[in-house]
Amino acid sequence: MNLTELECFYKAALSPTFGEQLYIIHGRDDFAHIVLDGRQEEFFFTLYGTDHLRLYWCNECFIFDSRRNSLVSSDTFGEIVFEGNVDAALLPPLIIGLLLQLKDCTFLSKQEIIRGKKHRGTMT
């Protein structure tokens, strides 16, 4: 599935729930924003190709990336990174399910867990 087909898939799956609030900003052949809350633009996700997605909700960023092991801390600091394997074919149903769960939720708080080595001189 290419990016244009993926945009159509998300639009077809999410339009019944988000209606007129949903719109797509197609940036390039490998980049698109799908906005779910209209002009508020606080609930949206960005597709970077077919196997990398960043979901923004309540000022939080969720990263789903097939190459997550190559991400550096400056890419992910303060973000929520999906720890599982990202398969381009399985990502859309996972994201749709998450979006439908988040739609009617209210953000309360989060607990940050840092996995990996702490380097000397970093703040704790």
- 3-state DSSP assignment of residue 36: coil
Tokens representing 8 are 């159509």
* Any domain includes 114: no
Query: DSSP class of residue 118?
Result: P
* Any domain includes 40: yes
* 114, pLDDT greater than 70: no
| Contacting residues for 11 by C-beta, under 8 A, at least 6 apart | 22, 24, 34
Tell me which residue has tokens 């309540």: 58
* 96, pLDDT greater than 70: yes
Q: What pTM does this model have?
A: 0.77
* Any domain includes 111: no
Percent of the chain topping pLDDT 90: 38
* 72, pLDDT greater than 60: yes
Give the Cα separation of 89 and 59 in Å (integer). Answer: 27
pLDDT tier, 97 (very low <50, low <70, confident <90, very high otherwise):
very high
Residue 72 is part of which domain span? 3-102
Predicted pLDDT at 18: 94
| 62-83 average pLDDT score | 72
Count of structural domains, the chain = 1
| 63-72 average pLDDT score | 73
Residues 101, 75, 46, 86: is their CA dihedral positive or negative?
A: negative
* Any domain includes 120: no
Tell me which residue has tokens 């993926």: 6
